[in-house]
């Protein structure tokens, strides 16, 4: 079977074994990670058994932007315990990788991991942390964003990072409202910018839930499906208002929507994209 570079990297991070050994193990195990770990152990490889299979739900998230606001990155480096996550050296390590990514404009996690920093690849540096700290350390998330003005926000002692892109050039006023919107995203976790950008899968799932809930309502027993469907469409409006960024009530003034506040700041100002990364997220 075909073994991908991502699978090889995952096994290497789990075990610390060489790339070729990991690839051979995955081929022998038909791509099964746990079976590949067992194969390496049987062959006498020095496998970090305590690390393999352990969850890395702690860590640090760093969001940064360039001086002109045109570029932004968010990086999540994971570890196993909050003791390590709160360590200044670990946070500084995460920041150094984020700064490296921002300066070099990498378009993917793979490109970032393969890049050279301080004489080693970022992947090798992470493996070095695995060895020195004794915990499973991984690059959990890497995302890059470009736009007219990117604003970054870090929340909760590096436990969440937000990037938000606005459609107008950087200024003190635009940055200020961008920071407010980033805080809104952190607090309210919208699923999309507006109703038009919600994925069809999410719309279908939410509508199906509403329909099933209505069918359980004694008042709706015997009602035709067409009527239930129309009522469900109306209820979806409430979903969009609560779960899409521009339609949400602005947390600093709930009498206005985020869209209204943006337009009051500057005509035609809006959000073009955003990314919210938390510990445990993808």
Is the domain of 31 the same as that of 65? no
CATH number for 12: 1.10.8.10
Instruction: Tell me how far apart the 2 most distant CA atoms of the chain are, in Å.
Output: 71
Give the count of alpha carbons within 13 A of 64, CB side only.
18
Is the domain of 100 the same as that of 182? yes
Percent of the chain with pLDDT over 70: 94
Q: Is residue 32 part of a domain?
A: yes
Has residue 54 got a pLDDT over 60? Answer: no
Q: Tokens 């209820």 map to which residue?
A: 235
- Work out the pLDDT band at 44, boundaries 50, 70, 90: low
Question: pLDDT tens across 133-155, in order?
Answer: 878 889 999 999 999 999 999 99
Residue 224 inside a domain? The answer is yes
Instruction: Indicate if the pLDDT at residue 18 is higher than 80.
Output: no
Same-domain pairing of 146 and 249: no
Domain that holds residue 223: 195-265
pLDDT of residue 50 exceeding 70: no
Better-predicted residue by pLDDT, 223 or 115? 115
- Residues 121, 29: one domain? no
Tell whether 90 is covered by a domain.
Answer: yes
Model pLDDT, residue 282: 58
* Same domain? 148 vs 274: yes
Residues 20 and 80 occupy one common structural domain: no
Residues 133 and 273 in one domain: yes
Rounded mean pLDDT of 196-217?
Answer: 85
Residue 179, domain member (yes or no): yes
Q: How far is CA 270 from CA 98, 180, 251, in A?
A: 26, 13, 17
Provide the CATH number for the domain around residue 123.
Answer: 3.30.479.20
Asked if residue 163 belongs to a domain, the reply is yes
Residues 215 and 129 in one domain: no
Measured CA distances, 59 to 52, 120, 141, 154, 233 (Å):
17, 22, 11, 13, 41
Confidence (pTM):
0.76
| Range in 46-50, 57-61, 111-115, 194-198 with the lowest mean pLDDT | 46-50
What pLDDT does 55 receive?
58
Residue 49 lies in a domain: no
Q: Is the pLDDT of residue 45 over 70?
A: no
Q: From CA 110, how far away is CA 11, in angstroms rounded?
A: 15
User: By C-alpha distance, which of 130, 168, 126, 138 is closest to 77?
Assistant: 138
Is residue 170 domain-shared with residue 204, that is, in the same domain?
Answer: no
Is residue 115 packed enough to be buried (19+ CB in 10 Å), middle (13-18) or exposed (0-12)? middle
User: Which has more pLDDT, 131 or 268?
Assistant: 268
How many domains does the structure of the chain reveal?
A: 3
Lowest model confidence (mean pLDDT) among 66-80, 163-177, 200-214:
200-214
Q: 43 φ, ψ to 5°? A: -85, 5
Give percent of the chain with pLDDT exceeding 90: 59
Residues 118 and 252 in one domain: no
- If asked whether residues 274 and 139 sit together in one domain, one would say yes
- Look-up: residue for tokens 């099933």? 212
If you average pLDDT over residues 25-41, what whole number do you get?
84
pLDDT score, position 15: 74
Q: Residue 280: pLDDT above 60?
A: yes
Q: Does residue 206 share a domain with residue 179?
A: no
- Domain contains 47: no
């Amino acid at each position: 079977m075909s073994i991908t570079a991502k699978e090889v990297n995952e096994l290497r991070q789990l075990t610390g074994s060489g790339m070729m050994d990991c690839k051979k193990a995955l081929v022998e195990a038909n791509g099964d990670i746990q079976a590949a770990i067992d194969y390496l152990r049987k062959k006498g490889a020095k496998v970090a058994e305590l690390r393999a299979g352990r969850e890395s739900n702690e860590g640090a998230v760093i969001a940064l932007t360039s001086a002109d606001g045109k570029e932004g990155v968010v990086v999540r480096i994971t570890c196993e315990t909050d003791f390590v996550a709160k360590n200044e050296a670990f946070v500084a390590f995460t920041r150094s990788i984020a700064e490296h990514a921002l300066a070099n404009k990498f378009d993917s996690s793979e490109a970032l991991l393969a890049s050279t920093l301080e004489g080693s690849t970022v992947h090798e540096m992470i493996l070095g942390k695995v060895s020195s700290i004794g915990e499973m350390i991984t690059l959990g998330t890497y995302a890059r964003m470009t736009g007219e003005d990117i604003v970054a926000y870090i929340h909760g002692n590096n436990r969440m990072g937000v990037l938000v892109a606005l459609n107008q050039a950087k200024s003190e006023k635009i940055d200020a409202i961008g920071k407010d919107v980033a805080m809104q995203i952190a607090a309210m976790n919208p699923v999309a910018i507006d109703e038009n950008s919600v994925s069809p899968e999410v719309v279908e799932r939410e509508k199906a839930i509403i329909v099933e809930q209505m069918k359980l309502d004694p008042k709706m027993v015997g009602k035709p499906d067409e009527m239930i469907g129309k009522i469900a469409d109306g209820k979806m409006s409430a979903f969009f208002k609560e779960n899409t960024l521009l339609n949400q009530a602005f947390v600093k003034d709930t009498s206005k929507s985020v869209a209204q506040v943006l337009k009051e700041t500057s005509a035609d100002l809006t959000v073009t994209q955003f990314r919210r990364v938390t510990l445990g997220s993808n």
